Amino acid sequence: MTDVSAIPTTSIDPDVTTAVAQFLAPVVVDLQALAVDGKQAHWHVRGANFQAVHELLDDVVDHAREYADTAAERIVALGLPVDARVQTVAAKTTTPALAEGFQQSESVIAQVIAQIDATLVTVRTAIDELGEPDAASQDVAIEIARGLEKDRWFLFAHVAK
């Protein structure tokens, strides 16, 4: 019988796994912040196009959660923990704060776009830094960037003139 304690967590070099966690963990944090704030915006949006924006914000939230899960699972699959507890997210996110209370849809959209843009900065850093050590992890970041850019486009279309 094989001793399972002798099986390494991953076949990838520990320096690579550390690099992956260094660049994907902040992505997880920003995406979790986007998901929480996106839901807050969803509950408090007001205006003539309420229903469309309300429903679109649910999509943004669902996508942010999915992307965070993808990035977190990549880190964990490589044998390292990820910390996306509420306290950690609040302390470490790079996303700007969302205004509290009811907001007109144009304001909500601008705020959520600003959060997506901040998250994209974090994601693009991961893309730039992960190509050399681990192309598979870079691909995770690229997939997330594509999705966030699409969500941003859909939101922007509601306020574009």
CATH 1.20.1260.10 fits 11-156, yes or no: yes
pLDDT digits (tens, 9 = 90+) for 105-157: 999 999 999 999 999 999 999 999 999 999 999 999 999 999 999 999 999 99
Question: How far, in Å, CA of 125 to CA of 128, rounded?
Answer: 5
What global pTM score does this model have? Answer: 0.92
DSSP label of 99: P
Average of pLDDT values for 83-98?
A: 97
- Alpha carbon 35 to chain centroid, angstroms: 8
- Per the model's pLDDT, the better-predicted residue between 10 and 25 turns out to be 25
- Under DSSP, the state recorded for 5 is G
CA distance readout (Å), 72 to 28, 45, 124, 136 = 6, 30, 16, 14
Per domain, the residue ranges of the chain are: 11-156
Token code pair at residue 53:
């924006």
Length of the chain: 161
Predicted local distance difference test score (pLDDT) of residue 7 = 40
